[in-house]
Amino acid sequence: MSDAVKIVVDDKLVLGEPFTKAASEFKARSPGKSALVLGSTGEVGREVVKHLMASDAFDKVTVLARRPIEYTGPNAEKLKQKPADFENTEQLERDFAGHTHAFSCLGTTRAKNGKDAFYKVDHDYALNAAKAAKTAGVEHYSNCSSNGADKNSMFLYMKTKGEVDSEIQDMGFPRVSIFHPSMLMCDRKEARLMERAASYVMPLLDYVMPGKMTIPTSTVAWAMVNNTFKKVDTP
Beta pairing class for 60-65 and 79-83: parallel
Cβ atoms within 10 Å, residue 157:
18
User: What is the full DSSP assignment across 119-135?
Assistant: HIIIIIIHHHHHHHHHH
Catalytic entry in 157, 212, 230, 231: 157
Which H or E run includes 34?
strand 34-38
119 catalytically annotated: no
71 catalytically annotated: no
Q: Which residues of 62-97 are buried (b: 16+ CB within 10 A; e: fewer)?
A: bbbbeeebebeeebeebbeeeebebeeeeebbebbe
Give the count of alpha carbons within 13 A of 184, CB side only.
Answer: 24
Catalytic entry in 161, 207, 212, 231: 161
Q: Which residues are catalytic?
A: 157, 161
